[in-house]
Structure 1
Amino acid sequence: MPRPADTSSHLSSLRERAMTKLTGGVRSDLSRTSTSEAMAVLFKLASSPDTASDALAMLHELQVHQVEVEMQQDELRRSRVELERNLIEQTTRVEHAPAAFLVVDQATVVSEINLAGVRLLGAARPAVLGRPLSSFLAPACSDALQLMLTRARDGAQPEPGELQLLPKDGVSEKLLCTAGRGPASGQFVLVLMVSPPSG
């Protein structure tokens, strides 16, 4: 029997010899050989006294490997189902959170927004997505928002800042905003809440 270090080359050589023998000396492309063909070769080799020992050892290794692969596939399927379930749960939590969550770029263009954000800005989701958040804010807030994004990009500890919405019906709401790095490079997550009235 070959040493463990030689097993791979030995099995490959044995398989090649077997295929040559079974095909009457005509070499075939081993990379195109199907699993069922390989198993047929092994069973044929196992029935010959000259090659039975090696063939049975190789067959056993292949069967163990097949079981291992099936177990890994089952584990991957379970992991995928679990990850998908967790993603759905997290997405649902963010979507229905009481605070407004937005994902914006450095130019404050909104790429994601939850229900609370839609309500806060007073516009339908399609009207918000692709539009700068700054277009919903008082012009004086642009610098403050950019400063928050710059601090987030630089990895600074998030600090709440105050922003102000454009007036609606003569009323302009003040917001507390926290900015952090987003899910992708150049993106930021903003959390917005209506600032409690002072006094």
Structure 2
Amino acid sequence: MPSQIGLPDKQLDLRLRATARLKGPDLDITRASASEALGVLFQLASSPSTAQDALALLHELQVHQIELELQDEELRGSRAELEQALNRQTALYDCAPVGYFTIDAETVVHELNLMGAKLLGLEQADLLGRPLDSVLDERSGQGLHTLIARVGKGQQTASCALAFAVRGGQPRAIQALASRDPAGERFLLVLTDPPQGLA
């Protein structure tokens, strides 16, 4: 007659006896070594009255071990695929022909790609944590804040022309396109060279 947990009484008794042996006076079953568990199984297998059930339990454990190995292989494969996809997306982000920025409402730069730094003639490290409006002329700084405010109030995307100071030269014109960052309270900003004839 099956027990309440779905095991026949004989198999349940076998498991209870194995558990009792593994625990012992000073042994916690959760910390028992594999060799101790196998030792108990071999002892049970050597007794004619429990050999058949012990072998069935051993087979069940072997199947479970193989299932775990297969799951491990699948997880390793999934991890490799995810790492490859992440590397691909990182390469696309950094090598894009436009400047990508993630900024907050105060225009502080939290993320940017290589082209973003190149467009502004600075290093990525020089821009991270710095307000983007600090490299723009005053009028463009105000324009950037207005752009972000429009998107912050619900406009899906907004664009404007900006100009930033070039050391020892004339201000350089760039086109800005902004949208809300779906991952949080920040904003996504794309900077590009203006279309030909509009610079």
Classify the secondary structure of the residue corresponding to 1:191. Answer: strand
Give the C-alpha shift of residue 27 in structure 1.
6.3
Contact 2:22 2:32 in 1 (8 A): no
Aligned positions, number: 198
Report the Cα distance in structure 2 between the residues aligned to 1:106 and 1:11, rounded to whole angstroms. Answer: 66
Distance 1:181 1:59, change over 3 A: farther
Give the C-alpha shift of residue 98 in structure 1.
0.8
Contact 2:157 2:178 in 1 (8 A): yes
Report the Cα distance in structure 1 between the residues aligned to 2:10 and 2:146, rounded to whole angstroms. Answer: 66
Contact 2:179 2:189 in 1 (8 A): yes
Instruction: Note if 1:32 corresponds to 2:35.
Output: no
Report the Cα distance in structure 1 between the residues aligned to 2:183 and 2:152, rounded to whole angstroms. Answer: 11
Other-structure match for 2:14: 14
Is 101-110 or 176-185 further displaced after alignment? Answer: 176-185
Other-structure match for 2:133: 134
Give the C-alpha shift of residue 198 in structure 1.
2.8
Report the Cα distance in structure 2 between the residues aligned to 1:5 and 1:124, rounded to whole angstroms. Answer: 65
Classify the secondary structure of the residue corresponding to 2:158. Answer: coil
Contact 1:95 1:115 in 2 (8 A): yes
Give the C-alpha shift of residue 52 in structure 1.
2.1
Is 13-22 or 83-92 further displaced after alignment? Answer: 13-22
Give the C-alpha shift of residue 4 in structure 1.
8.8
Q: Which amino acid aligns with 1:198?
A: L
Contact 1:161 1:178 in 2 (8 A): yes
Classify the secondary structure of the residue corresponding to 1:180. Answer: strand
Q: Which amino acid aligns with 1:17?
A: R
Structure 1: gaps (5+ residues): none
Structure 2: gaps (5+ residues): none
Give the C-alpha shift of residue 168 in structure 1.
4.9
Report the Cα distance in structure 2 between the residues aligned to 1:108 and 1:26, rounded to whole angstroms. Answer: 65
Instruction: Note if 1:53 corresponds to 2:52.
Output: yes
Give the C-alpha shift of residue 43 in structure 1.
2.4
Report the Cα distance in structure 2 between the residues aligned to 1:182 and 1:104, rounded to whole angstroms. Answer: 9
Report the Cα distance in structure 2 between the residues aligned to 1:135 and 1:107, rounded to whole angstroms. Answer: 11
Distance 1:45 1:194, change over 3 A: same
Give the C-alpha shift of residue 110 in structure 1.
1.3
Distance 1:170 1:37, change over 3 A: same
Alignment of 1:97-116 (within 5 A): 97-116=96-115
Report the Cα distance in structure 1 between the residues aligned to 2:178 and 2:10, rounded to whole angstroms. Answer: 61
Other-structure match for 2:191: 192
Please give the per-residue CA displacement for 1:85-121, whole angstroms capped at 9, x wherever unaligned. 1111211121111101112222211122222111211
Other-structure match for 2:159: 160
Q: How high is the TM-score relative to the length of structure 1?
A: 0.81
Superposition RMSD in Å: 3.1
